[in-house]
Amino acid sequence: MNQPKTDTSIFRTLRFILVETSHPGNVGAAARAIKTMGFGRLVLVRPRFRDVLTQDEAIAFASGAQDILEKAEITDSMDVALGNCQFAAAITARLREFSPPVLTPREFAETVLPDPHIHCALVFGSERYGLPNDVVERCHALINIPANPDYSSLNLAQAIQVLAYECRMALLVRNGNIARDSHIGFHGDPASIEQINGMFDHLETALTAIGFLNPANPKKLMPRLRRLFSRSQLETEEVNILRGIARQIEKHAGPKTN
117-127 pLDDT, tens per residue? 789 999 999 88
Q: Which of 74, 71, 87 is nearest to 31 (CA)?
A: 71
The confidence score (pLDDT) of residue 255 equals: 64
| Local confidence band at 98 (pLDDT 50, 70, 90 cut-offs) | low
CA distances from 121 to 2, 130, 209, 248 (A): 30, 16, 34, 34
Q: What is the pLDDT of residue 179?
A: 46
Q: Would you say how long the chain is, in residues?
A: 258
Q: Is the pLDDT of residue 43 over 90?
A: yes
CA-based radius of gyration for the chain: 20
Q: What is the residue-averaged pLDDT of the chain?
A: 86
Among left, alpha and beta (phi > 0; psi -120 to 50; other), residue 153 is beta
Tell me if residue 142 falls in helix, strand or coil. strand
Give the mean model confidence (pLDDT) for residues 224-231. 89
Q: What are phi and psi of 241, to 5 degrees?
A: -65, -45
pLDDT grade for 60, boundaries at 50, 70 and 90: very high
Please give the model's pTM, rounded to 2 decimal places.
Answer: 0.74
Q: Mean pLDDT throughout 160-189?
A: 72
Q: How far apart are CA 99 and CA 215, in angstroms?
A: 21
Which pLDDT band, with edges at 50, 70 and 90, does 114 fall under? Answer: low
Neighbours of 138 (CB within 10 A): 22
Residue 10 confidence class, pLDDT cut points 50, 70, 90: low
Cα(248)–Cα(115) distance, integer angstroms = 35
What's residue 230's pLDDT? 86
In tens, the pLDDT along 148-159 reads: 888 877 899 999
Q: How confident is the model at residue 132 (pLDDT cuts 50, 70, 90)?
A: confident
Residue 41 · residue 14 · CB < 8 Å: yes
Whether the Cβ atoms of residue 36 and residue 9 lie closer than 8 Å to each other: no
Residue 30: φ, ψ to 5°: -65, -45
